[in-house]
Amino acid sequence: MTRQIKTGIVIFGFIVAFLLLHLTKILYPLEEFIRYALSPLGSVSTKIGTFVSRESRQMTENSESLDQIDELQRQLQHLSVDYVQLHALKEENEVLKRKLGFVEQQGYEAVVANVISRSVQPERSFFMIDRGSKNGLEIGMAVIFGDGIYIGKITKIYERTAIVTLTTDPSSRVAISLVGQNRLIGLVEGRGNGTALATLIPQEENIKVNDVLVTSGTEEKIPPNLVVGLINQIYVESTDPFKEANIEPVVQTAYLNIVAVLLPKALKPE
Amino acid sequence: MRTSSYFTVFSMALMLGYYEGSMLGSLPGYFIFFRPVLPFLIFCFLLNRSQAAYLVAGISGFVVDFISATPSGFITARWLLVALIIDFVQNYVITNKSLYGSWLMAVIARIADGILTIMIYIVFNFIWGGLFIIEPVIFQIPILFVDLIVISILFLSVSLLTKRFLTFIPFEKNRYGS
C-alpha cells in the first residue's frame, strides 16, 4: 500500500469520525473550547484588518476631508441618538403625566463584545463576536453601537461566541418606526453590499428624506427607539399600496471592532 | 520533521488560518482574492514536505471552521482532501518540480477545491437545510490568478535563494542537468 493511500484512509477516517461525533454533539464541549481558545487571536487579527482597511482608505482619499466626514458622521450619530432620546423622553414624560401607576419599562443591560471575524463575501454582512450563551445572550437580541445605533441581531449562538447578522444582510429584517411615533410603519430589509431598504410602508404614511428610522419595539428582544438609519431616497409607485425608501446607515459597520448586545435585565446571568 | 519544524509549520498554519478565517473580512476589498492556504500547500509539496502540507491544511482549516463568521462548510475536510489530491498528482502525474508544474498544481487545487465546495454546498443546503453560502464561480478566476502569482513568487524565491531547484541547465549538461 502506497503512502498516499494510507494517508487517504486516515483522512477519510478522520472526516467521517469528526462528522459523526459532530452530528451526535459528542464533540460539542471540545468545539466550544476550541472556539473560545481561538477567539482572542481572532479579535486581534480583525483589529489588524480593520486598521489596514482604515489606513488604506485614508491613503486613497483626501485625509483632511476624510477627517471632516468622520467628524460629521460622529456628530450625526450623536445627534440622531440625542434626537431619538429626546423624543422618547418627551413621550415618556407625557405618558407619566397622564398615567398614574405607570410601570417602568423593563430596562436593558449592554454586554460589550469584540468582533472576532467578518463575512468575506461583500454581499453578505455577518460578524462573529466573542460573547455567547454563557454571557446570557440569546438569538434575536439586538446588537448596537455607541448609545443606541442598531446594527443587527444575533442569529446564531454558541456558548462563548455568537453570529450577528447586520441590517444590510439580505436575510435581515427589522421592524421600524418613525421617531416618536412608537408604532410599526414597515420593515428594513438588507440588500447586501452595505445597503438596506425600508419596505412595506403604507402609502398614507408621511415620510421624508432625512427622517430618522428607529426600531419599533414590536420584536420581543429588540427595544424601541434604536436608530436604524436615515431615509435618503423614497420610491413611490401610485399602483402599489406600499412605498419603499433607501436607508443610509449612520455607522459604517466595516470599521467596528467593539459592539454591545442589549440584554433584558431579567435575563442577566448570575 | 524536527520539533522546530513542527513549531514553524504550526505557526504558519495558524497565521494562514487566522488570515483566511478572520482578518480577510476586515481587510480592504481587493484582498478578497488573496487566499494563500492552497498555494502554500502546493509549495510544501514542491519542497517534499507532504507532512507539513497536511498539517497546514488541517490546522488552518480548523481555525477557519471555528472562527469564520460565515459558515465555511467543513473547510478542514476540503483542504485535507485537496492536499491528498495534490499529493497524488505530484507523485504520479506532475512529477517534475518546475514552475509550470506548480502552476498546473495550483489550477488543479483550485478546481478540486471548487468541486468539493459545490458538493458540500449541495449536501449542507439541500439535505441538511444548512446555511452554507457559496462564492460565485466567477470569483474563482481572479483568486486563481493571484494563486499563480503567489506560487511563482514562492517558487522563484526558493530557486534563486536556496538553489533548491534548477533555474537553468548549463549547455554542457543534458536536459536533466546530469
Strand, coil or helix: what is B110? helix
pLDDT at position A122: 76
CA angle in degrees (0–180, nearest 5) for B66-A127-B41: 40
B81 in a structural domain: yes
Specify the pTM: 0.80
Alpha carbon of B99: minimum distance to chain A alpha carbons (Å): 23
Residue-by-residue DSSP string for chain B: --HHHHHHHHHHHHHHHHHHHTGGGTS-GGGGG---HHHHHHHHHHTT-HHHHHHHHHHHHHHHHHH-SS---SHHHHHHHHHHHHHHHHHHT--S--HHHHHHHHHHHHHHHHHHHHHHHHIIIIIS-----PPPGGGHHHHHHHHHHHHHHHHHHHHHHH--S-S---TTS-TT--
What CATH number is attached to the domain comprising B127?
1.10.1760
Check if the beta carbon of residue A259 is closer than 8 Å to that of residue A145: yes
Check if the beta carbon of residue A175 is closer than 8 Å to that of residue A200: no
Alpha carbon of A86: minimum distance to chain B alpha carbons (Å): 35
Percent of chain A at pLDDT exceeding 70: 90
Cβ-Cβ contacts under 8 Å for B131 (sequence gap 6 or more): B71, B124, B125
Inter-chain CB proximity B69 and A163 less than 8 Å: yes
Rg for chain A, CA atoms, rounded:
22
Tens-digit pLDDT profile for residues A32-89: 899 889 999 999 999 999 899 888 887 777 666 777 777 788 777 777 777 777 777 7
Q: Give me the residue label for grid cell 483589529.
A: A47
B105 in a structural domain: yes
Residue B112: all three cell numbers together: 478540486
Q: Can you tell me the distance from the alpha carbon of A92 to that of A182, in angstroms, rounded to the nearest whole number?
A: 11
pLDDT at position A28: 87
Alpha carbon of B40: minimum distance to chain A alpha carbons (Å): 19
Domain count, chain B: 1
pLDDT at position A97: 54
State whether residue A145 sits within 8 Å of chain B by CB: no
Range of the domain at B45: 3-162
State whether residue A131 sits within 8 Å of chain B by CB: no
CB contacts of A120 in chain B (<8 Å) are 24-25, 32, 68, 70, 135
Is 50 exceeded by the pLDDT of residue A102?
no
State whether residue A14 sits within 8 Å of chain B by CB: yes
Q: Tell me which of B130 and B84 has the higher pLDDT.
A: B84
- What is the phi-psi region of residue A244: left when phi exceeds 0, alpha when psi lies from -120 to 50, beta otherwise? beta
- What is the phi-psi region of residue A17: left when phi exceeds 0, alpha when psi lies from -120 to 50, beta otherwise? alpha
A228 in a structural domain: yes
Alpha carbon of A62: minimum distance to chain B alpha carbons (Å): 17
Nearest CB partner across the interface for B26, out of A34, A50, A57: A50
Helix, strand and coil percent figures for chain B, each rounded to 5: 70, 0, 30
B171 in a structural domain: no
CB atoms closer than 10 angstroms to residue A25 = 9
B175 in a structural domain: no
Tens-digit pLDDT profile for residues A129-161: 999 999 889 999 999 988 788 999 999 999 889
B19 in a structural domain: yes
- Number of helices (H), then strands (E), belonging to chain A: the values are 3, 12
Is 90 exceeded by the pLDDT of residue B74?
no
B168 in a structural domain: no
Q: Tell me which of B84 and A23 has the higher pLDDT.
A: B84
Inter-chain CB proximity A35 and B77 less than 8 Å: no
B116 in a structural domain: yes
Q: Can you tell me the distance from the alpha carbon of A232 to that of B147, in angstroms, rounded to the nearest whole number?
A: 41
B51 in a structural domain: yes
Mutate to test the interface with A, among B66, B74, B143 (most CBs of A within 10 A): B66
pLDDT at position B40: 94
Domain count, chain A: 1
Q: Can you tell me the distance from the alpha carbon of B82 to that of B61, in angstroms, rounded to the nearest whole number?
A: 11
Lowest-pLDDT range of A120-124, B16-20, B161-165: B161-165
A166 in a structural domain: yes
Inter-chain CB proximity A122 and B32 less than 8 Å: yes
Tens-digit pLDDT profile for residues A246-267: 998 888 888 888 899 988 765 5
ipTM here: 0.82
A10 in a structural domain: no
Q: Give me the residue label for grid cell 534563486.
A: B160
Range of the domain at A236: 42-270
DSSP code of residue A106: P
